[in-house]
Structure 1
Amino acid sequence: MNAITSKLPGFEFIGGKVCLDFANTVSGTREGRSQENLTGYSDLVRWSQEAALVTESQAKTLLYVAERDEGEAATVLTRARVLREAMYHIFTALIAGTQPAGIDIEALNRELRKGTTGASVMLTTDGFVWEWGKEDDALDQMLGPLARSAATLLTSDEQHLVRQCANMRCGWLFVDTTKNHRRHWCRTTICGNNVRVRRHRQRQLELETGF
């Protein structure tokens, strides 16, 4: 399968931060059964458009450029997956109370350095804001905002509110903004219900078998 092909997966945005939503583009668990939802560069572009990292016009330009340079599109897709896995492993390590691996931190920093090139401060009606230089036809333009999102979250108080879905068959990440910070599921109607159904079936089996 080349870098342009898409299987048109359904994307969901439940993480609370765009970097966590990007980490969640793998369905299932890294340690068990999983499904890659970025099967081609077009998937990366479509996800980026749905995440508001690129406009519809920019998405069309990127797909046009990618069709003519499939080698570069494949390289960017690989970089995106490496960045995604680095962010996933960094946050899950912090959730587990362990130190993130140096290789993952370096992978994040590599994209962060590229993604902060050409930074400037702009004055708007709401005050000063950062503006990041980018070209509309740069195939990797979505990676900078993703790396900056992760860096911002890691250096904020919200880092301690990052959670992993308690469904052992899921593992998606999210920021727990509930009042008591006791959110267990990425999606209560899916993961929460699935766990409750499995627990109910297990109890029924134990009653029937006596074990």
Structure 2
Amino acid sequence: MARGEKFQFVGYYNCLDFVNTEFTKEGGRHFDSLRSFADLIEWLGESRLVNRAQLQRALKLWGGSAGAAERIFLDALALRRALLAMAEKLATRRPVARESLEAINKTIEKRPACVLRARSSGRFEEMTRLDLHEPEQLMVPIAQSASDLLCHGDLALVKRCANPACGAFFYDTSKNHTRRWCSTTGCGNRMRVAAHYRRRRAVS
């Protein structure tokens, strides 16, 4: 499940990318790219938070049951709402609400274990090991990403795209931390073109 064009990954932290699955497209039209259990599985694959073998197992365990799939999907949407509230608070330099922290903690509690593994660079990283005994474990890596952001990130670098017709959240990793757009090729380019057009009209 390679990254495709259905989802955008501009947030740096996966929890922000998960929030960004619900966004506003050009022209102000609201769009939700997460509309089913299958979409959730696809997003987890494209985000690389869960490997393909585990996702195939999840589909085998719960994908065939409409009730189980719907419950997992609704839980995912509830977590997304909590993470949206978190991102909005961070982007406006306000304290994160207790409800968001409770939702993150509730999900992390489903984490069965963590393992350390060596990377090819010689460094180490901690990975969440999913045994998938419970459907809620699918959301553990998303909640872990939020925990990592809150515990180890510079919270002042969580921003919202300056394009009013977008509003996606991202973590500003630019050199001088002056990034304004979710992506330079997307909103950044559109806003520059719009500004150029306005300047030309002003002098004509």
Q: TM-score, normalised by structure 1?
A: 0.79
Choose the corresponding residue for 1:82, options 74, 78, 81.
78
Deviations along 1:150-179, whole A, 9 cap, x unmatched?
011111242222221111111111111111
1:174 is aligned to 2:151 = no
Distance 1:75 1:182, change over 3 A: same
Contact 1:65 1:137 in 2 (8 A): no
Bigger Rg over Cα:
1
Distance 1:203 1:22, change over 3 A: same
SS at match of 1:34: strand
Runs of 5+ consecutive residues of structure 1 not aligned to the other structure: 1-7
Deviations along 1:28-85, whole A, 9 cap, x unmatched?
18xx642111111011111111111222222222222233222111111111111112
Q: Tell me how far apart the structure 1 counterparts of residues 49 and 124 of structure 2 sit (CA, whole Å).
A: 20
Choose the corresponding residue for 1:114, options 104, 110, 116.
110
Q: Who is 2:11 aligned against? A: 15
SS at match of 2:82: helix
Q: Tell me how far apart the structure 2 counterparts of residues 197 and 129 of structure 1 sit (CA, whole Å).
A: 41
Distance 1:158 1:205, change over 3 A: same
Q: Who is 1:142 aligned against? A: 138
Q: Bigger CA drift: 58-67 or 140-149?
A: 58-67
Q: Who is 1:160 aligned against? A: 156
Letter in 1 for 2:77: R
Contact 2:11 2:169 in 1 (8 A): yes
Report how far residue 131 of structure 1 moved.
Answer: 5.8
After superposition, residues 61-100 of structure 1 pair within 5 angstroms as 61-100=57-96
Deviations along 1:68-106, whole A, 9 cap, x unmatched?
222111111111111112112212212212233332222
Q: Tell me how far apart the structure 1 counterparts of residues 16 and 38 of structure 2 sit (CA, whole Å).
A: 20
Report how far residue 144 of structure 1 moved.
Answer: 0.7
Contact 1:161 1:175 in 2 (8 A): yes
How many pairs does the alignment contain? Answer: 197
Distance 1:127 1:193, change over 3 A: closer
Q: Who is 2:101 aligned against? A: 105
Contact 2:108 2:144 in 1 (8 A): yes
Distance 1:181 1:71, change over 3 A: same
Distance 1:81 1:187, change over 3 A: same
Q: Tell me how far apart the structure 1 counterparts of residues 103 and 183 of structure 2 sit (CA, whole Å).
A: 29
Report how far residue 191 of structure 1 moved.
Answer: 0.2
Q: Who is 1:198 aligned against? A: 194
Distance 1:36 1:174, change over 3 A: same
Q: Who is 1:34 aligned against? A: 30
